[in-house]
Amino acid sequence: MVTMYDLKRVGDAVYEIAMNESTGMKVPVRVYANKYIFEHMQRDRTLMQAVNASMLPSITGSMLVMPDGHEGYGFPVGGVAAFDADNGIVSPGAIGFDINCLHPDTKIYRDDGAYFNIAEAEFHSLDIFDKVDKVKSSAAPLLFMKKKFDGELFKIKTRLGKQILVTGDHPLMTQHGMVNAIDLTAEEKVLITGYEGMEYVKPSPIPIVGEDGIRKAMHALGIKNNGNACSQVINFLRSVNLLEIRRDSEKLPILLKLFGIVLGDGTLPYGKHGILPMQIYGKKEDLETIKRDLGKLGINCNVYHRLRKHNIHTQYGNPKFDFDEYSLHVTSRAFGVVLAALGCPVGNKSITEYRIPDWLMNSEKWQKRLFLAAYFGAELSTPRYNNDQNISELSFSVNKIESMRENALQFVSDIRSMLSSLDISTSEPAWVEGYRYAGKHGHTIGLRLSILSNTENMERFLKTVGYAYNTEKERLASLSALYISYLKGVRKRLAETRSKAMELQKAAVPSKRIIMQLSGNGISTSFVEHTLWGRDSAPRAYGVEKFKEFCAINEAGSSGFIYDDIASIENVKYRGYVFDISMNDKNHDFIANSMVVSNCGVRLVKTNLSEADVRPKLNPLMDALFKNVPSGVGSKINLGFTDQDLENVAIEGVGYIIGKGYGWKEDADRTEENGAIAGADSSKVSKTAKSRGKQQLGTLGAGNHFLEVQKVEKIFDEKLAEAYGLHTNQIVVMLHSGSRGYGHQVCSDYLDTLSTYQTKNNIKLPDPELAYAYLDSKEAQDYLGAMRSAVNFAFANRQIMMHSIRKSFEDVFARSSDSMGMDLLYDVAHNIAKLEEHTVEGKRKRLIVHRKGATRAFAPGRQEVPKIYRAYGQPVIIPGSMGTASYILAGREEAMQETFGSSCHGSGRLMSRHQAIRDIPMSQTLSELDAKHIAVRVRSKKLISEEAMEAYKNVDDVVATISEAKISNIVARLVPIGVAKG
């Protein structure tokens, strides 16, 4: 463990945590801070995250934290780390990422249908929604993430009663795709399912069957050890981890479903040579699902098809019919032995006596549900509707030969008892003489059991038990549960209307006025009239959607999920931990509370205008900028770019955009990497990332991204200022934005990829959020190709916005941007990993330098610095917080020796966004901005508090620390006169 005793001051505004090999540190940690800043860094996990990062393989020199540093995702924002390029690593968490989260009580659904609270999450496959095929599927989680939260959550309720608590940046699935909670409106519909399931309770490790039980089953089945038959069964079951089965066995959930389906539509045949291959009959797609589950157990099987001809003798006649029969065959005799040992009947079920085994009767509720759902998938009737509105009674029958009458009653009673333990009411079992038919073993009789059809019981059954291994029944159960909720909502509204009508009538309000007042919005005139005429019974659901209409209007594909109206969105104060899950699946979603929940830089544009020129037209200028540069979360603009344009942007960056007419040739020369970092590979970018980015090129975004009209208030270095074309009272425009959803999705995608890499290669991490891959791996190369594409997207995005800024000035001042001297000073990236050469311990080395919330600050003479600045050092642009100063710095040689040519990138947060909203009144911030005569344009008013100057460190202190540590020279101080934010 690293303590404060390992910490010492080693220079002006420089602290060091000495390398401690016993903790796994490979290099020391260097922190650039004055006393005040350093005290604040100790209040969160900034220093501990830096220590964790110092343990990463091949890290070189020191792990660095700039004075604007604060806690980030795995790696501190404001952190810099360099890794050997020959045998080093790349880590998305050390470049730039954040998580969006759910309240700890949020229910997450396992792929076996049980739910647990996300705060109690474990690594088990979860239910997901396949956005392409529009079906429910499953995938394994890669990471469970949690972070402290102090602020407001969004409580989102739907028309049918679903609700969820999420942070504002957490996406939910809507009819328009994934939308962050903060951007949801009452016009949106969110994707929900009717299934709610049973709570997961960890079973006790009580044995159900072991090797002795398997041997007894083999003996009962007549399997002897001739040819080592018994030994082969034992060895095979041991190899697939099925020799001992406990109540908490990982494979028991699948075995429970298979037990249920075999009792229904399957059989364990038995012949003169003993047990034969297990067979299950059903629809092809359902059998394929069963086949996948058997594969998870290590059991091979095949699905077969044939045309069957039937002729059945019943008391009603002899019906003949042909049909396509699909069946699944398991050739493994060993697996049949397992099912038999668990209590599954062998041979013809109609002539065999069997009950539900005791171990299953006494299992956890969610385990009982798995067995019953699979059995009902085969045996229980399909949800159907009388008059397309009232659901018919659901029932199943057990057929036995007459001599097994008592056993039929016992078995049905067992099922009934299990349902009762799940709070599901059933009818008394009834003999159904009509099921009598003459089989080769004699007459068969049927015993029927029904789920009581009262609304509450039926809704509870459909939501919590339902069906398995039958896609169509599962779909109809989910839709039926939602439809019942819909009808209940309608009846509630009718009852409320009826009560209000009678109240108004009692107050002597004329009938016509009552009818006019209460009719509409789903309440028919006839209903109000009937109420006024004295109807005493419960209100009927007049004018409601029929079941088929409900499904046609609302269902997403044929999934059983629907898009439900948002009934309300409210903010709820919360302090505590929030959680998220990263999924190992292309869909990147999971089901929570029955809902489906989903590189920046800065540039400075100069002008030859003064404050006196701009101030009289400041408001129309800010209006024009706010209009022409779209901002806000999810902001989009349609510039007519094609998919091929997006591919070209990813590779060519700024150069391609300038070729399309968005800028001047010189702009590329004054952009880091000339606006196109080499090595980009758009084929490594997911379709989801590309679709998110296509209409976001040329948009600002939200959060700490901004556009500011500023004036140069003070020059600190006349020579450097002249080289950069800066002078006092000059108007400039600063732009801070990035790669928008394109880049965020790239990082999200590859966090999953690299987390899989950790598991595959058994890599132990100091922090799960520091996932990495070695540079020579396919995973790392794919990520770098995608990350570089995102960097080029970000360069191009800012280039288009600069074109819009020039156009806005032209519109307001009626002059060409060229005549206003609107040259680009420089554009520099913030969150990036780059291959660079640096001197380490006297030797030149190729390094991959990770800068997360840090800026490249190269000294004079470096070839990477544009020719016009090479003799002076690279311009370093440091934005402040809203309403405070910003700075222009210049790189110097000391930075090359100490920080791999890196500097701070801004002022750095002191408060979380949510704390800022809670503690800083919006009116206070607006008053402060008004007192400074700063014009403000903002899409979301909450940003005024989120981005208030008190939420950030003092930028003057941060820059003074950089200067004191001799990392960069201060050139100029800028102050805002107009601010535009998302």
Q: List residues with catalytic annotation.
A: 905
Residue 613's CB is within 10 A of a number of other CB atoms, namely 14
Asked if residues 748 and 142 have their Cβ atoms less than 8 Å apart, the reply is: no
The crossing angle, in degrees rounded to 10, of helices 511-518 and 525-532 is 140
* Closest among 102, 156, 169 to 634, alpha carbons compared: 169
The crossing angle, in degrees rounded to 10, of helices 333-342 and 252-265 is 90
Asked if residues 399 and 491 have their Cβ atoms less than 8 Å apart, the reply is: no
Cross-strand bridge partners of residue 844: 839
| Rounded distance between C-alpha atoms, residue 594 and residue 575, angstroms | 24
Contacts of 906 (CB under 8 A, 6+ apart): 68, 704, 853, 878, 879, 880, 881, 952, 955, 958
HSE (side-chain half, CA atoms, 13 Å) at 64: 31
Radius of gyration of the chain from Cα atoms? 34
| Rounded distance between C-alpha atoms, residue 292 and residue 467, angstroms | 18
* Closest among 111, 253, 169 to 590, alpha carbons compared: 111
Contacts of 38 (CB under 8 A, 6+ apart): 15, 31
First to last CA, the chain: 42
| Rounded distance between C-alpha atoms, residue 667 and residue 827, angstroms | 9
| Rounded distance between C-alpha atoms, residue 866 and residue 735, angstroms | 20
SS3 state at 352? coil
Contacts of 970 (CB under 8 A, 6+ apart): 716, 717, 887, 889, 959, 963
- Position 630: which residue type? P
The crossing angle, in degrees rounded to 10, of helices 365-379 and 471-506 is 100
Tell me, what DSSP letter sits at residue 16?
A: E
Structure tokens at 130: 């396949």
Contacts of 918 (CB under 8 A, 6+ apart): 150, 151, 152, 573
Asked if residues 856 and 904 have their Cβ atoms less than 8 Å apart, the reply is: no
Burial per residue of 892-920, b for 16 or more beta-carbon CB atoms within 10 angstroms, e otherwise = beebbebbbbbbbbbbbbbbbbbbbbbeb
Contacts of 765 (CB under 8 A, 6+ apart): 758, 771, 772
**Residue 843, class by beta-carbon neighbours within 10 Å (0-12 exposed, 13-18 middle, 19+ buried)?**
exposed
Burial per residue of 174-198, b for 16 or more beta-carbon CB atoms within 10 angstroms, e otherwise = beeebbbbbbbeeebbbbbbbbbbb
Asked if residues 802 and 571 have their Cβ atoms less than 8 Å apart, the reply is: no
| Rounded distance between C-alpha atoms, residue 737 and residue 796, angstroms | 11
* Closest among 681, 759, 771, 849 to 91, alpha carbons compared: 771
Residue 36's CB is within 10 A of a number of other CB atoms, namely 11
The secondary element (H helix, E strand) that includes residue 177 is strand 177-180
